[in-house]
Amino acid sequence: MSNKALITGIGGQDGLFLSRILIEKGYEVHGITKSSDLGTLAHLEEDVRDKIELRVVNIAEKAPIDTLISEGQFDQVYHLAAQSSVARSINHPRETIESNVLGLTNIATSIRDKSPQTKLLFTGSSEMFGDLVDGQQSELTAPNPQSPYGLTKAFGFQLVNAYRKHYGLWAATAILFNHESEYRGEQFVTKKIIQSVVRIANGGDETLSLGNIHAQRDWGYAGDYMEGITQMMERESPDDYVFATGQLHSVKEFVEIAFNKVGIKLEWTGEGLAEEGRDTETQRTLVNIEKRFYRPGDIAGTCGDASKAREQLGWVPKTALDEFISKMIDHERANQSSKS
């Protein structure tokens, strides 16, 4: 009999990669989404998608989660469902808490009460660490969240720890640093940049407006991180792991690389809100700064130390930044040309 896995939040970028990996490994995959919209799963190969048992369930409601967990008796639950935008959490803290705090509490408590042999993996976030103080952030770094989103991820990390300790559950947190791909949502800066760069390369006359382009992130490829979390789940005893590349890049560098890839070289002038990126050939302004895209409490930088995952799981990020920016551009080009 094949192993049975449940993926909550299967309709996002990570759900797509994770379903592919689990189906390939021979798992029976069940997924829950918040609406009947297929979301990112629309990009999944049809034969893979057909194998997924999909259901619409609101994770913030306890009764349907109890029924699902009790009837499913899953071997593994990957809890991905969350309000995942830091920016949105600032304006919608209640929605973020409902989805992230109540959602995890419902899932973990149902497993404790209805299916205690089920392994639970929670996808945590580097956002729980707040700003980089020195060096890199690891499993031992103390949480110091700055945003409602980061607070919910710190809460989740501690809850999972407590359930593991007090109830003997197989429960663990994957502390994921920024991870991107061609299937990334438009609310995140990398996708926003790529969409605009491709439109401009295709002759569009827009300007890419951004907030803090000096923020630095440790960006990896989502497919690699989802491989890592399945390796984590296969361990006999539960433990938390950081997944990161250990490489820091600014938003500005990301913009420059993306434009370079479509043959446009930028030169920068000005500072703060007056900073601008111009096409060196035409002198046209392609990038500007708008105050509305700045966030209160934005984290200036995050950088992860994934040596524990490397040593204990043999995990290394395979896809370099340059490589996944190309994948994102190719995918976006195909997407835009299919619409024109």
| HEC per residue, 218-271 | CCEEHHHHHHHHHHHHCCCCCCCEEECCCCCEEHHHHHHHHHHHCCCCEEEECC
189 scored as a contact of ligand GDR (CB under 6 A): yes
Find the shortest distance in angstroms from Cβ 46 to ligand GDR.
28
DSSP secondary-structure letter at 85?
-
Residues in region 269-308 near ligand GDR by CB under 6 A: 293, 295, 298
> Which residues face 179 on adjacent strands?
220
Given a contact cutoff of 8 angstroms between Cβ atoms, the answer to whether 105 and 82 are in contact is no
Among 177, 221, 241, 259, binds ligand GDR (CB under 6 A): 177
**What would the two tokens of residue 210 be?**
């951004």
Q: Tell me if residue 127 is catalytic.
A: yes
In this structure, are residues 48 and 20 in contact, taking their beta carbons and an 8 Å threshold? Answer: yes
Site for ligand GDR in 87-106 (CB under 6 A): 87
Residues in region 13-72 near ligand GDR by CB under 6 A: none
CB of 237 to ligand GDR, least distance (A): 25
Choose among 47, 41, 48, 40: nearest CA to 21. 48
Restricting to residues 125-144, which ones interact with ligand GDR according to CB under 6 A? 125-127
Three-class SS state of 55: strand
- Kindly state whether residue 192 participates in binding ligand GDR, applying the rule CB under 6 A: yes
Q: Which is nearer to ligand GDR, 125 or 230 (CB)?
A: 125
Q: How many Cα atoms sit within 13 Å of 334 on the Cβ side?
A: 8
Listed ranges 34-42, 204-212, 228-236, 324-332: which one lies at the site for ligand GDR (CB under 6 A): 204-212
Which spans of this chain sit near ligand GDR (rule: CB under 6 A)?
84, 86-87, 125-127, 177-178, 187-190, 192, 210-213, 215, 217, 251, 293, 295, 298
| Active-site amino acid positions | 127, 149
